[in-house]
Structure 1
Amino acid sequence: MRFRFALLFPLLLLAACAGSRPDGGALEVTTVAAPGATEHELLVAATRERAKTGPAMFNGERSTGLDFADLSISVPPNHTTGDIEWPSPLPGDPTKQFVARSLAYVDGADAFRARLRARVAALPKGRRAVAVIVHGFNNDFDEAVFRATQIVHDTGFDGVTVLFTWASRGSVFDYVYDRDSATIARDGLEDLLRIASESGVEDLFVFAHSMGNWATIEALRQAKIAGHGDFNGKLRTVVLAAPDIDVDVFKAEMRVIGRPKYPFVLFSSSDDQALWLSGLIAGEKPRLGAYTEDKEAIADLGVIVIDISATAATDSLAHNKFAVVLPDFVSRLGERLRRGDQLATGRGSLSETTRGLGDSLGSLVGNTAGAVITLPAYLLTLPIRAVGG
């Protein structure tokens, strides 16, 4: 036990120093607009309490139900892909940093539904997409907002973005609290996905990072048991980035969920030190996002496994490698979707699926150093003419 703690303590200190978010909050509205900056609108659904003091909108304590907000965040023209340029001093310099342009609570689910429907309806038919982003462990509200904005900006997503934010306290020393908060949040996430599926949306995407994957998989499992696992046929690709989930638990959950019509996409890396630490806390059981030994078995649950172990990390714990790979992958995936390839794994469209996957993922391998992709066997065993077209 003493040896284990000796390994654990310096890693906790490293994790505590890894982020550059300022103390006391980072969201303060500025009326200054910068030439070349890009503004992104985010709807927010939260299982956090509203903050009672200070500039933050929500704190790290749990609410009894969903609460809502509507934000506009500006990304500077000199933004570096994968990074968050934190505002300091507040409210920040919009020519160089992420800044808040507007912050407002939305009172009640009905008002939130109306805003979501209006934004979906404003999109052209055929492009009415919603992306629900679920953050990970050790994310306070401000970081969750900026990270969601960074993901949307870097991937070029042009639909409606909804941040689902659960009650993380934003501290590396609150792992168990955060884990329990993510479990509690599964009901709220299931409700949000149902609301989104009824908004007039054509394509509903989910992106989850780290511990947010636990809430996501739990919500999808609940929805399957309740009989609406495809959310009115709107659910498309679910991206699992560095998931902090026990491998055996994930396999059991996926057996309930069933092989999805649209493949899940998993980004994993064997050198993810944050997930190594999580596995140590969990009795030395491997976490899905750092597990690269049994990729074929994971893939055949209906998951595209993208092993980015050999890809260079941009953070000290190698926990945010997805930020390097994701924009390139999503841009190619988005192009395939715009050309009519829905990545369906239903029996009637396997030929088109495989051709689309071959193009999109083949391009990713060619442009992302060290990425290794494992497809489900049922895609790889199609006739050669179906794959090559």
Structure 2
Amino acid sequence: MITRVWQSGEANPRMQPVWVAATLVFALLVLTACGGRPDSGALVINTEPAPDAKISDIMIVTTRERDSRPDTYFGGERSSAVSYAEASISVPPSHEPGQIEWPESLPGNPEKDFVARSAGYIADKAAFKRQINERLAALPPNKREIFVFIHGYNTRFPEGLYRFAQIVHDAKFEGVPVFFTWASRGTLKDYVYDLNSAAIARSALEETLVELTNTRATNITILAHSMGNWLLMETAVQAKPENRRRIATKIDDIVLAAPDIDIDLFKAQLRKLGKPPKPYTVIVSKDDRALRLSRTIAGGKERVGAYSDDQDLAELGAIVIDVTELESLDGAHHSKFAQLAQLRPEMRKTLSNSVVSSSADQNRGANLGNDLGSFVGNAAGTAVALPIRVITAPFTYGGGS
């Protein structure tokens, strides 16, 4: 029966669920093709000397439940309370930008691998804030920055922590990095669980951003990835107006990397928030396989991070960095944003200048170049040839609601 239908070229409605299931299974296989992933015990401390390795000292805020297994700290289950911690992650001298050099076996080799140098819990919010202020006070006034990273769906605690260490290292960030990690189970089948965990974490993120605003920091940069963007945007929408205004006084950059947000929801969120004091930066890639799977789960609605209309996003008040043509270092094409970290100082300066110029000239949809060679070449002082498009639209600075 089935063979005859296929030979006739007619679709069999009864087979559609099978094809959907098969498509999802294939997508899961593609996304998990990279092999083993770190889990319990991944933060075992390594004390071997490696003089040329660079260490990132990361502060941690989480809605994850504490995990009693040795060298694990936090798992994928939710906690009703917010926890605080810190970790020092060593990046090897042989590190390649955009990569995480995971140890083949623990505790790893600090000359070749990312390894944990120290880790521990912090007693409470007051102690956490005190430590941040102490670190900020020890920095020169022009370096008193906080960099907040919010990870996405299907991310285990050590994965998000090591990814942030890579970004901090590659970006040559000298301020205080703060990792906000919510209760993702780190499995592809738990998309709905992760989405609900992100929803539960909104109040904790709002409180965290308010607390960071009340530190000695002169400015704050926020980078969210994948479903972390849904959490960030929904936190902004639900935040008390006075908190939103307070946080905005210290926000320097908001970068939305591969946002796993329904495009219609994103537009509704922007309408609710109004135009921000500075434009968001949105990193998109139309070949993002993880967002393709998310789109299937979400009823076929386009995700912002793989949206087909860069110009539409730009006219919503965003700077769009399209990395579709950039060769991905991961099979899912979902972490290309991490490859841009090494260009952060030049990109910040050039994007800031370009937005002012675009607004002054009123040039609709200015394209800043088809590769970063023309985009940041002068600022970086080096030849960079990455196939990246940057699209902006005229932007009038002003406050949101």
Q: CA deviation at 1:88?
A: 3.1
Q: Secondary structure at the match of 1:195?
A: helix
- Is 2:18 the counterpart of 1:2? yes
Return closer, same or farther for 1:149/1:19 CA change in 2, 3 Å cut-off. Answer: farther
Residue 175 of structure 1 aligns with which residue?
A: 191
Q: Secondary structure at the match of 1:36?
A: coil
**Is residue 38–residue 158 contact of structure 2 (8 Å, CA) maintained in 1?**
no
- Is 2:215 the counterpart of 1:199? yes
Residue 394 of structure 2 aligns with which residue?
A: 377
Return closer, same or farther for 1:19/1:151 CA change in 2, 3 Å cut-off. Answer: farther
Q: CA deviation at 1:291?
A: 0.5
**Is residue 147–residue 178 contact of structure 2 (8 Å, CA) maintained in 1?**
yes
- Is 2:349 the counterpart of 1:332? no
Return closer, same or farther for 1:363/1:20 CA change in 2, 3 Å cut-off. Answer: farther
Residue 257 of structure 2 aligns with which residue?
A: 241
Q: Distance in 2 between matches of 1:93 and 1:320?
A: 25
Q: CA deviation at 1:246?
A: 0.4
Residue 145 of structure 2 aligns with which residue?
A: 129
**Is residue 205–residue 238 contact of structure 1 (8 Å, CA) maintained in 2?**
yes
Structure 1 residues 71-94: Cα deviation after superposition (integer angstroms, max 9, x where no partner) = 111000000111111123211111
Q: CA deviation at 1:262?
A: 1.6
- Is 2:330 the counterpart of 1:318? no
Q: Distance in 2 between matches of 1:119 and 1:257?
A: 33
Residue 92 of structure 2 aligns with which residue?
A: 76
**Is residue 73–residue 100 contact of structure 1 (8 Å, CA) maintained in 2?**
yes
Which consecutive residues of structure 1, in runs of 5 or more, have no partner in the other structure?
380-389
Residue 94 of structure 1 aligns with which residue?
A: 110
Q: Distance in 2 between matches of 1:211 and 1:10?
A: 21
Residue 13 of structure 2 aligns with which residue?
A: none
Residue 293 of structure 2 aligns with which residue?
A: 277
Q: Distance in 1 between matches of 2:65 and 2:284?
A: 32
Q: CA deviation at 1:353?
A: 12
Residue 28 of structure 1 aligns with which residue?
A: 44
Q: Distance in 1 between matches of 2:323 and 2:52?
A: 32
Matched residue count: 370
Return closer, same or farther for 1:54/1:343 CA change in 2, 3 Å cut-off. Answer: farther
Q: CA deviation at 1:323?
A: 2.1
The structure whose Rg is larger is 2
Q: Secondary structure at the match of 2:165?
A: helix
Q: CA deviation at 1:182?
A: 1.0
Structure 1 residues 6-27: Cα deviation after superposition (integer angstroms, max 9, x where no partner) = 1110111222233542453311
Q: CA deviation at 1:158?
A: 1.1
Q: Distance in 1 between matches of 2:88 and 2:225?
A: 22
- Is 2:375 the counterpart of 1:363? yes
Q: Distance in 1 between matches of 2:300 and 2:201?
A: 25
**Paired letter, 2:390:** I
Return closer, same or farther for 1:232/1:302 CA change in 2, 3 Å cut-off. Answer: closer
Q: Secondary structure at the match of 1:17?
A: coil
Q: Distance in 1 between matches of 2:77 and 2:278?
A: 35
**Is residue 21–residue 86 contact of structure 1 (8 Å, CA) maintained in 2?**
no
Kindly report which structure 2 residues correspond to 1:37-52, keeping only aligned pairs within 5 A, or say none: 37-52=53-68
Which consecutive residues of structure 2, in runs of 5 or more, have no partner in the other structure?
1-16, 378-382, 397-401
Q: Distance in 2 between matches of 1:352 and 1:20?
A: 51
Structure 1 residues 29-70: Cα deviation after superposition (integer angstroms, max 9, x where no partner) = 122230210011000000001002243100101111311001
**Is residue 62–residue 82 contact of structure 2 (8 Å, CA) maintained in 1?**
yes
- Is 2:168 the counterpart of 1:152? yes
- Is 2:70 the counterpart of 1:58? no
- Is 2:33 the counterpart of 1:17? yes
- Is 2:234 the counterpart of 1:222? no
Q: Secondary structure at the match of 2:69?
A: coil
**Is residue 26–residue 86 contact of structure 1 (8 Å, CA) maintained in 2?**
no
Return closer, same or farther for 1:373/1:344 CA change in 2, 3 Å cut-off. Answer: closer
TM-score, with length taken from structure 1: 0.88
Q: CA deviation at 1:306?
A: 1.0
Residue 309 of structure 1 aligns with which residue?
A: 324
TM-score, with length taken from structure 2: 0.86
Q: CA deviation at 1:157?
A: 1.1
Q: CA deviation at 1:300?
A: 2.4
Return closer, same or farther for 1:44/1:234 CA change in 2, 3 Å cut-off. Answer: same
Return closer, same or farther for 1:246/1:364 CA change in 2, 3 Å cut-off. Answer: farther
Return closer, same or farther for 1:206/1:342 CA change in 2, 3 Å cut-off. Answer: farther
**Paired letter, 1:138:** N
Return closer, same or farther for 1:307/1:343 CA change in 2, 3 Å cut-off. Answer: closer
Return closer, same or farther for 1:364/1:287 CA change in 2, 3 Å cut-off. Answer: farther
Return closer, same or farther for 1:257/1:327 CA change in 2, 3 Å cut-off. Answer: farther
**Paired letter, 2:388:** A
Residue 384 of structure 1 aligns with which residue?
A: none
- Is 2:83 the counterpart of 1:67? yes
| Range with greater deviation from structure 2 (357-366 or 197-206) | 357-366
Q: Distance in 1 between matches of 2:209 and 2:292?
A: 31
**Is residue 319–residue 391 contact of structure 2 (8 Å, CA) maintained in 1?**
yes
**Is residue 60–residue 86 contact of structure 2 (8 Å, CA) maintained in 1?**
yes
User: Alignment identity in percent?
Assistant: 41
